[in-house]
Amino acid sequence: MTTVPVRQRWRPQERHIPVLATLGLLALMYGLGSLRYIGFNDPQIILNVFIDNAFILVVAVGMTFVILTGGIDLSVGSVVALTTMLTAVLLEQAHWPVPLVILAGLAVGAALGFGMGCIIHFFEIQPFIVTLAGMFLARGICYAISTSSIPINDPFWTYMGRSLKFGSLKVTWSVLIAVAVVVIAALVLAFTKLGRDAYAVGGNPQSALLMGLPVGRTRIAVYTISGLCSALGGVLFTFYLPSGNSLHAIGMELTVIAAVVIGGTLLTGGTGYVWGTALGVLALGLIQTIITFEGTLSSWWTKMVIGILLFVFILLQRLIAARRPT
């Protein structure tokens, strides 16, 4: 008598469920949009979402590192604004060469993130409070530099803001840079010690400490990465909107956190993927696109839909956490 092997049903791992839910949400929105609106299924629509949100995607990648360790960074929007102000002033008033301007902006963002990471670790202060102070500090420096908008007329910025044509499709340099950042971040999280340590610290800091993992160094590193990504997001923001302004990116930190959560990263840390964050940013952009296509709805509908999605994904995270063995 021969036994027939029983085929096991495929079941997704629990850590993949939020990302798969986001992917399903995207497919649903795109399908409904394609059925309801003429021209919605044009591939350029998706590319336009990336063009409009490339800087948010880069900032969200840095936030993913922070949330994976169980932290939060409220300063990202202010760092974006500070970078736009520094870029505009150094280019248009100090007349620094382009490479030095970009390096200076990235260095300031990374230094601010490094400082906040050191305060969080060495003084054991909650990340919410430290990064809230960083948010006010960066925004205050913006107003100290100038309360007026400073236009950027540099030829390099004009070139970087132009679209690149691939047949009938168009993208910008910012999209290519954002995709490169996502790929690099995914590789770092998947194949480097820093990535493994970030997951371990977010999963259980005490266990990570007992295992001899560099908890403090990891926390400082992720806040430095977040500051660096925020500064790079600020540079990309100036490619998209060539000016420095203290009012840029107000509230962006909340949009970025929403994108990371909708992308499947647990707010308690330990679980999440950069690819999920990219899907989260794409979902938020697609919501705005649908509302634009509808034409009769105000932009506040975007906020309401994002709020509903956040409720749904937070509850989903809670259910997944409750099923985990203690």
- pLDDT tens-digit map of 134-147: 999 999 999 999 98
| Sign of the CA dihedral running 313, 271, 192, 73 | positive
Q: Residue 309 is which amino acid? A: L
d(CA 56, CA 66): 15
> Does the structure show a pLDDT above 60 at 1?
no
How much is the pLDDT for 56? 96
Contact between 138 and 75 under an 8 Å Cβ cutoff? The reply is: yes
* Nearest residue to 267 via CA among 120, 80, 127, 129: 127
95-to-8, 9, 39, 44, 177 alpha-carbon distances in Å: 66, 64, 44, 37, 25
User: Which residue has tokens 């995914």?
Assistant: 186
> Does the structure show a pLDDT above 60 at 95?
yes
How much is the pLDDT for 223? 97
- pLDDT tens-digit map of 216-248: 999 999 999 999 999 999 999 999 999 999 999
Helix (H) or strand (E) holding 164: strand 163-166
- pLDDT tens-digit map of 250-306: 999 999 999 999 888 988 888 889 999 999 999 889 888 888 888 777 777 878 888
How much is the pLDDT for 292? 86
Calculate mean pLDDT across residues 81-88: 96
> Does the structure show a pLDDT above 80 at 15?
no
The pLDDT mean for the chain works out to 89
* Nearest residue to 65 via CA among 231, 234, 220: 220
Pick from 4-13, 95-104, 292-301: least confident: 4-13
What are the tokens at 157? 């910025």
